[in-house]
Structure 1
Amino acid sequence: MNEVQDTPEFEIARFLRQLKWILLAVVAVWLMWMLAPILTPFVLGALLGWLGDPLVDRLERRGRSRNVAVTLVFALMTLLLTLALLILVPLLERQVKTLIVTLPAYRDWFVDTALPWLEARTGLELLVWLDPDQLVEWVRMHWQQAGGFAATLFGYLSRSGFAMVAWVVNVVLLPILTFYFLRDWDLLVARVAVLVPRDHIDTVSRLARESNDVLAAFLRGQFLVMLALGAIYAIGLQLVGLKLGLLIGIVAGLISFIPYLGATTGVVMAVATALVQAQGLDLQLLLLVGAVFTVGQLLESYVLTPRIVGDKIGLHPVAVIFAVMAGGQLFGFLGMLMALPVAAVANVLLRFASERYRQSDLYTGEQIPIVLDSYVDRSSLDQATSAPAAAQAPDGVRGPGPA
């Protein structure tokens, strides 16, 4: 078998097979790039179906049929989304209005307090380079012209009848596609598994399980941690009397997938808000704000992450940021949706490639060394060749070597 693999014909055939798979991957990426505008609801529906499939399987194991389990899970997902929209949207709208109204107060604090304090300690003339009055006025002017985020979004969509129709179609298609992906997820997985070559089924199954674990650790686990932290920060900041506590808490929770960044950003925003709100140094309010984020970090480290995410290997924060930005740059919103699944699979494949490399002769050094120079050190070569022969020769018989 080794003699066959060493022949030039075998090497050429293997190269052609690899080239075929590379061309197939290039064609798939090109098709995805061309079909990106219509693939978004399908990808989002597949992600929602994947997220809900474990709960459907659990209900099936308890004796319910697949259709009943899918209906229950789909109804639960719809209910949670509806409740989130009904509760969060009005609260966030009020918080944004409060932020817009208090912008002059933030401007005055920034110009009259923060910048002079920084100039006195750094010696830099910051007011020459920064013009807060013009910046705040520009923000207020454009916000009033837009009439809010919703008006901006729908105004943009209404400028193109086709875009508006496509948006409506995607919204209508999303629940339908999610329901079908929930119902047929196990069937789709089984059909894909049938297509895998039998001599690679064990390796592919292992890589698929590891990819699922990595993605689940981030999407299912970390997403729940983000929601829990957002709720803890928002409720805690509201209870201590911070006017923009809900908005700051939600923002800090949503970016908490990057370790320490969510808490650090939340602390900075909350401290600045507390200083402006108190028109000075309110030590009690600052201590309460610090206590809220301290409790949130302790709960994340010792309760939320160990119990929800567990010890599964997740994605590195730098990989997450790069994947989302690269996906958005290459394929727009579709690329951002597919960024994390692709990054999870790439992470698993890189670990598998590293494992195979450490088991190869190239890494272990078991191959016969290749002489790249015409000059050979005769003494070292003779010593290396004579040692094994001398060990195998009978007593009194010398192996090949120098006389």
Structure 2
Amino acid sequence: MVDQQQYSWPLFRRFLILCLGVGTVLMLLTYLYRSIMVGLMASAVISYIASPGINYLCEALPIARKTLVGILIFLVVTICTLGAVLGIPYIYQELLNIVQMIPEATAYAERLAKPLIDWARHSKIVPDETIEAGFRKMNLLQHVMGATDTMDGLFSRTPKVLEAAFNLAMVPLFTYMMLADKDDLRSLVKSWTPHDLHPLMRVFVARIDRVLRAVVKGQFLVAFVLSIFYMAGFSLIDLPSGIAIGAIAGICRVVPYFDVLVGLLLSSIVILTQGSGIAVFIGVLIVVAVVQSLDGMIITPRIIGDRAGLHPIVVIASVFSFGHWFGLLGVLLAVPIVAAAVVALQICLPYLQNSPFYRLPPPS
């Protein structure tokens, strides 16, 4: 039975009205400032992950919070800039080389499959129309991916480059504001919330914070760890462009199992065009199997555990759906929004069960 005194429906209804009002204002602001939303959301994610560490350092060191945050952001930006200057051009060039290999890999795979295709045509198991459609798609893929000059000139010709550069440049500033003024922002939110709703708000914030820390912090940490493992494994088996493939595959782990798809696809392209042989391909399969086993048995259970409570299918569907509707911003926000929504529904259920809708007397 639901405790009617604890789960007061009138109090919860006022809380819902407040949330709807705040949500409407946030949606309006998001629409008005949509050009900087990617940078703002990236800063929010970084601030959310870094906040516990900043709180610990502020208590341990005799330095003002704003000064400490400024120093740390300067150091992180400097390290990331050096890493980008040294690492990103190499990974980009390796990825570009892989893209240039796609037409050759497609043609090679087509030659390998020709006996099977001829047999399928002769036996009439697969309709000729289906086979021809498959060839048309492969030719289209060769045409699109073979246009590497388009890849080279993409960033120089698109007007979105200025918006992306501005968002990237604003990330340190937004992050500084969120971390340095955290207490002021919290006091502002508290002052705008009715006092009798503070306990209910604390319950929502605490439960959602517990899940989001697992989802946001955990997923990025797992992706980073798997990137290291993939790069090390692909390097050990002498896979051409193994470091770039491992880094990209690990990053794709933010979407469950997408790292396996991307890693095998890029590795297959390189192996088919470089003539690495079946031994390297078997090595790739072993590396992927070992990394996936470590991820399933040790890495994800230790880092995330069962706190997220989201099925991998839900995560995959959410990322692709939000990405389709809202682009990169949707990819960043998909999993946190869905995880927060699931927890919010779990918290809301006892209050809804105490509402007049659930408590209507049975028909006589």
Q: TM-score range by the shorter chain?
A: 0.7 to 0.9
How far did residue 205 of structure 1 move?
0.8
- SS of 2:253's partner is coil
Partner residue of 1:266 out of 253, 263, 276: 263
| Equivalence for 1:370 | 363
Q: Which residue of 1 aligns with 2:31?
A: 33
Q: How does 1:334-373 map to 2 (within 5 A)?
A: 334-357=329-352, 368-371=361-364
Larger radius of gyration: 1
Residues 36, 322 of structure 1: alpha-carbon distance in 2 compared, 3 angstrom cutoff: farther
TM-score normalised according to structure 1 size = 0.73
Equivalent AA in structure 2 for residue 156 of structure 1: T
C-alpha change, 1:93 and 1:203, in structure 2 (3 Å) is same
Distance 1:229 1:86 in 2: 22
Distance 1:94 1:44, change over 3 A: closer
Alpha carbons 1:55, 1:73 under 8 Å: kept: no
The offset of 1:362, in angstroms, is 7.0
TM-score (norm 2): 0.79
Corresponding position of 2:157? 155
Could you list the runs of 5+ residues in structure 2 that have no partner in the other structure? 1-9
Amino acid across the alignment from 1:181: M
**Distance of 2:89 and 2:285 partners within structure 1:** 27
Indicate the SS of the match to 2:254: coil
C-alpha deviation, 1:334, in angstroms: 4.0
Which amino acid letter does the alignment assign opposite residue 107 of structure 1?
T
SS at match of 2:199: helix
Per mean C-alpha deviation after superposition, the further-off stretch among 41-50 and 223-232 is 41-50
Q: For residues 13 and 217 of structure 2, what CA distance do their matches in structure 1 show? A: 39
Aligned to 2:234: 237
The whole-number CA distance in structure 2 between the counterparts of 1:198 and 1:236 is 56
> Match of 2:342, as an amino acid?
N
1:256 aligned counterpart, secondary structure? helix
Letter in 1 for 2:178: F
Residue of structure 1 equivalent to 2:197: 200
CA apart distance, 1:369: 1.8
The one-letter code sitting in structure 2 at the alignment partner of 1:309 is I
Q: Share of identical aligned residues, percent? A: 24
CA–CA separation in structure 2 for the residues paired with 1:191 and 1:244: 51
Q: Deviation of residue 79 (structure 1)?
A: 3.8
Alignment equivalent of 1:49, drawn from 43, 47, 50: 47
Query: 1:286-333: CA deviations, max 9, x gaps?
Result: 332222112212322233223322442254434434444454455554
Cα distance in 2 for partners of 1:324, 1:93 equals 24
CA RMSD, Structure 1 to Structure 2 (Å): 3.5
In the TM superposition, what whole-angstrom CA distance separates every residue of 1:245-286 from its partner, at most 9, and x where no partner exists? 234323322232344342254335435643554376x2x323
Which amino acid in 2 is paired with 1:128? E
Matching of residues 2-401 of structure 1 within 5 Å: 22=20, 25-65=23-63, 66-117=65-116, 120=119, 123-124=125-126, 125=128, 127-129=131-133, 130-131=135-136, 132-133=138-139, 135-140=141-146, 142-144=147-149, 146=150, 148=152, 151-157=153-159, 168-267=165-264, 269-271=266-268, 273-278=270-275, 282=278, 284-328=279-323, 330-357=325-352, 368-371=361-364
Aligned letter for 1:253?
Answer: G
Moved more, 256-265 or 289-298: 256-265
Task: Report if the CA contact (8 A) 1:222-1:309 is conserved.
Answer: yes
